[in-house]
Amino acid sequence: MVDDDDDVKDISDKTSVLPSDTFKLRLAEAGQAPPAMVLLVGPASSVGRQWPIEDPDIVIGRSPNAKIFVDDRSVSKFHAKLVLSGGDVSLMDLESTNKTFVNGKLIPPLQPIKLQNNDQIKTGNIIFKFLERGSIETVASAQAFDRALTDALTEIANRGALEAKAPEFFKRASLLGFPLSLLIFDIDKFKLVNDTHGHPAGDYVLKEVAKVVKNKLIRGNDFFARAGGEEFCLLLAGSELKQAEEVAERIRATIEAQKFVFEGTHIPITISVGVAGYDPSDSNWTEIYERADKALYHSKNSGRNCVSVSS
């Protein structure tokens, strides 16, 4: 249980200071921004994450079925609900164990409370901030969060984003029985690319590999990230191991056939891939990662430019 009697202090600024050359653009974007919830206090990897409020009913909770899913034991599986009606957003506690507070005040269960801009909502140990429709802070906070979780070179998700997202995928797989597979691949002899053609050429290859996979080879509900260096990870939601192996082979063949030309020089590129799937005995997502990583090293030790599947 948490101490629900403590007042929630105002822990965020009420205004956003923007550079003058971007202010007009942000205003225009804000005009289209829906109301949103922003995580202020909670799991470190999710602080700053934003959820737009566009559906009539949005549940906040620890269940993977909750639209605003927070993996924290102080939050009930179905803790509270946001109700969007006529442009207004109300909050209703769903008889949660640790109650729901708005600006430090306990709200009664099953009674909708209309939210105002910058209201702070406490569910267990988790604190959110509500932003009304058209708030310029909605745009600013979303962009800041995206930048923190985006790899600057390839413009895909980074390692931090992977470590934030993978546990959510794992939770849904373990509790709801959804298939989940993981691909890990890296660029063969990447050090040789840098040594032979220079680091700008290596950067070009990394960007092009990411672009090809992102634009041509993955679905909208998959999650693609640069894990570091020349290593990439792809989480396949809803894919059994056999399907993941087929995806891995398609990616491998596509990269091998792709023409990588930097400053007029053709650079042959291949990748090695390791594949693993969720097993009911897994206790966390890192066990899947470790199996896929071992399969990757099997590919590398088998001559590279191939796909290996974890047994």
Torsion of CA 42, 49, 32, 221, to 10 degrees: -130
E strand or H helix that includes residue 188: none
Residues 6+ positions from 39 with CB-CB distance below 8 Å: 46, 47, 48, 49, 50, 70, 126, 127, 128
Q: Give me 120's structure tokens.
A: 């702070």
In angstroms, the CA 185 to CA 137 distance is 38
Determine which one of 163, 230, 249, 263 is catalytic: 230
Torsion of CA 242, 238, 302, 286, to 10 degrees: -140
230 is catalytic: yes
In angstroms, the CA 142 to CA 38 distance is 9
DSSP state of 70: -
Residues recognised as catalytic: 230
